[in-house]
Structure 1
């Protein structure tokens, strides 16, 4: 290769290497940028799902009011229920639209949410259509429970989006967890109020199960409250988050809990011999007083989501900045590389090319020295003659090495090949067999050996001469070799004895192969050089070894015993190891 082409090739390789490194860096930055963008979109989905959960929780209040009112319910209460349902439908459609813009749409989960929502609303409407006396506490509790089950479905619909946003922005994981805890806090606060729906609607005292449920819900609410207030990152120190948490404490955990306590107190103050109770409020009045106290909980959620989105926006801007910087850095490196290659070509390669042309001219007998290398004329001549001598010596040494390698290969082939039949000899077969035996041990498979020899071969030599015997051996090797498949080893074991090692197989498969070989030999007419047609047969012994302790010598010994039985039982047959 000429020096100019070599320099061009080297330059191209360097350019490819630099472009590869820079491309990989840019690809990593691009992936990080895409992940940040997708994480931001996922965060918006999480926020939308939490709004759906909020509206579903809010819808329970008007639903409880309608189920606790007379028949028909007051128009104002029915209107509030329609408004709440329309609000829920609106945020649900918004979530569906956001999901449809992404690459993954959990349609089955949203479909399940919509189906459960329709069933829950139908149940509410059916109870509202019944006279109050027909509404049993069990029916009211079942309707409330159906409304409870909707919020987890709304949150589970974007579980993958939540995971994607947390993977893209690990720093906001705890903020998102607290936002979800706030959603759960709002949900359990709603459940706490809904537990009183049946007693308020039926003017009945709280049962023991309802009182236990109230205590459980209070404990869960306090647990969620402490988890939200737990300081575990810098976001917890944000002023707007602390203010939202403080308002939640005063509005809900003080004022809201007092309303619950009022109902409990009214339930416990009634006569012991009657379950009837007189409450100072019905379900609608209770909802009007209790539901506003839960609004600060949503403010906590919104503050946490706002903080998460703020941090995500900052991470996204940082990823975009790093991508831009990586692009500029890659362009600068490529520019420096091109500049260096131009300098090397002008300052190094071009003078070396002029010197090379001078050496070529000297080698061609042109002793006219270039003006720029006139002082190096003698030294370049000595170098050229030394290189020419070295080249001749190298060529001669290479020729000798090639000849030596050819002779070694030829000797190796002769050492492994039977001189008469052209197949493997016993030594080569032992090497190949031990290698295949190790493979059988590693794969925990069976290894078979088929040993056979020509029946009455001595009589062939005695009657027709040793040349005829050699022709029989050659023809038998050709017949067996043409019958075998690729991967099955054939060798001359000694005299008129041959050995076959099939691919990894069991005893029955090896026996079937031996039978095919026996039939092929029996049916093949052998025409001697004098035109006499001779038919020969062969006896076969088959053995199989399996397991970590299998040995090639033991396998041969078993096959030899089987071959002995085949001969003793009349020849021209196949016998397997016992």
Structure 2
């Protein structure tokens, strides 16, 4: 095995092993860091979605007050409803903005269904509130309240995906996030408990048996959620315990006592002593500690998440710096070995290989060294110089040969093909036409009264006429169409894939182009030049170039006899 290959393989194996180990360590650290970063984003979006759900729940209080209001409407209640709706819209806008700008979100959320349902519910509230209180039947009130109930689950659907993403990123805060979700649900069911009294308070009618059952179910769900929130957690703080105690005192005592008073009044057949707006004014503030509990749980989850995120960042930095240090040490060691032992020999070997392959683009470096390798590199440099000189002589010889070949195929005066080159190219095209079973045409033309031009104006003027006619015809032809000087003032054109009729049209176009280009001689005399054309076509395996040229020549003579400056085709 060559020394260069052995060195490359050993270096590659060592590098792969080291890079594989470092890559695995760094990759795990990076994945963990990205995972925690995504978790932070999901946690922030979770909080936004929870706030939006809470604002939707809060809007039901002023909504219930308006639904139970008399006509004309109380401006204060209308103002409270507008403020609640503005707070809901702001929370939804902030949530949507986060969803649009936060590319680390686990799942895209479509807010359109929520917006459609919110708009429909608000329209129903507006239409029902505008009616006479007597027209607000329990069925219509219940239907409108149910529309408002349906909004919160739509918002909470946005919470679920992000909560799961946060839990996957931070397993230690999963219990805290679950409790925060319980707090959101507790606020929602507390709001539903109050809203369950809206129909009775608005219509001043006793609660129905179905409404009593609904109240019991809601109380049971509230008690269940409270037990879940009181379940032992991972390191629950004193602040959290204080918030829970305040929730028990404010909501589960005073708030639910207010609901029980309405229920007892309904069973006793007494007047409720308040309408929906007054009930909401007293009941809604009792739910504030539930929001404080949610915020405290989210604050603890956020603090723990940031701690884990910073830990993952430190691990990533340590892993990256360790990997860089190891790679630098390995690279330095390999550079020292290569520079002092291997590289000089490899350079000399590669220089010999390049020279042997005819690559003289680089001069071997290191020829200034005073040792044996320097002597060898100086000899290689001399060999390179001599080889370059030989290569230049060979290129010059090839250039001269190519120039001679072009001169042999080109008419010296007009720069187009001569007769010999046309015969070669025409036979090749004829064979191609035979293979494809196509027809082939030839246009033969010469300049009218050319001898008189030479006699009257001299051979120099005749040469100008030949050059001008060749240039005019060449400009009219397409790529692939052959133009050659057939001899004297006679020219030949062989179009590609052209029938006899098309060839005649081409000849007519060339004739007009020649006739429309007068030539101004050196003495100022304007010379008008015309040409006569003969066209011939053939197809099939029996077609021959000489036969085509002979037929075109006969047609050309007919054009001469018919007065010149015209086109004749072979019969």
Q: Which residue of 2 aligns with 1:258?
A: 257
Q: Which runs of 5+ in 1 are unaligned?
A: 271-276, 354-578
SS in 1 for 2:272: coil
Distance 1:125 1:84 in 2: 14
Q: Which residue of 2 aligns with 1:216?
A: 217
User: Normalising to structure 2: TM-score of the pair?
Assistant: 0.58
Count of residues paired in the alignment: 344
SS in 1 for 2:127: helix
User: Shift of the alpha carbon at 1:157?
Assistant: 2.3
Contact 1:46 1:162 in 2 (8 A): yes
Q: Which residue of 2 aligns with 1:171?
A: 172
Distance 1:106 1:14 in 2: 42
Contact 2:114 2:155 in 1 (8 A): yes
User: Shift of the alpha carbon at 1:39?
Assistant: 0.9
SS in 2 for 1:231: coil
Q: Which residue of 2 aligns with 1:87?
A: 87
User: Shift of the alpha carbon at 1:17?
Assistant: 2.9
User: Shift of the alpha carbon at 1:343?
Assistant: 7.2
Contact 2:43 2:163 in 1 (8 A): yes
Cα distance, 1:146–1:107 mapped onto 2, change above 3 Å: farther
Distance 2:106 2:312 in 1: 26
Q: What is the root-mean-square deviation of aligned Cα atoms in Å?
A: 2.2
User: Shift of the alpha carbon at 1:334?
Assistant: 1.4
Q: Which residue of 2 aligns with 1:35?
A: 35
Contact 2:106 2:162 in 1 (8 A): no
Contact 1:55 1:87 in 2 (8 A): yes
User: Normalising to structure 1: TM-score of the pair?
Assistant: 0.57
Cα distance, 1:166–1:15 mapped onto 2, change above 3 Å: same
Cα distance, 1:134–1:281 mapped onto 2, change above 3 Å: same
Is 1:322 the counterpart of 2:315 in the alignment?
yes
User: Shift of the alpha carbon at 1:257?
Assistant: 1.1
Q: Which residue of 2 aligns with 1:207?
A: 208
Distance 1:158 1:297 in 2: 17
Once the two structures are superposed, what CA deviation does each residue of 1:296-336 show, in whole Å capped at 9, x if it has no partner? 00000000001111111111111111110110110122133
User: Shift of the alpha carbon at 1:347?
Assistant: 10
The residue correspondences of 1:407-556 to structure 2 (distance < 5 A) are none
SS in 1 for 2:26: helix
Q: Which residue of 1 aligns with 2:329?
A: 336
Distance 1:159 1:300 in 2: 19
Larger Rg: 2
Contact 1:106 1:157 in 2 (8 A): no
Once the two structures are superposed, what CA deviation does each residue of 1:325-373 show, in whole Å capped at 9, x if it has no partner? 11011012213323554677799989x99xxxxxxxxxxxxxxxxxxxx
Q: Which residue of 2 aligns with 1:291?
A: 284
Q: Which residue of 2 aligns with 1:243?
A: 242
User: Shift of the alpha carbon at 1:170?
Assistant: 1.3
User: Shift of the alpha carbon at 1:15?
Assistant: 1.6
Once the two structures are superposed, what CA deviation does each residue of 1:180-229 show, in whole Å capped at 9, x if it has no partner? 10000000000000011111111111111111111111111000000001
Distance 1:28 1:67 in 2: 58
Shift >3 Å, 4+ stretches: 103-109, 338-350
User: Shift of the alpha carbon at 1:2?
Assistant: 3.1
Q: Which residue of 2 aligns with 1:96?
A: 96
Once the two structures are superposed, what CA deviation does each residue of 1:274-301 show, in whole Å capped at 9, x if it has no partner? xxx5111111111111000000000000
Q: Which residue of 1 aligns with 2:189?
A: 188
User: Shift of the alpha carbon at 1:105?
Assistant: 8.9
Contact 1:99 1:105 in 2 (8 A): no
Is 1:228 the counterpart of 2:229 in the alignment?
yes
Q: Which residue of 2 aligns with 1:75?
A: 75
Contact 2:42 2:106 in 1 (8 A): no
Contact 1:72 1:128 in 2 (8 A): no
Contact 1:62 1:77 in 2 (8 A): yes
Q: Which runs of 5+ in 2 are unaligned?
A: 347-571
Is 1:150 the counterpart of 2:151 in the alignment?
yes
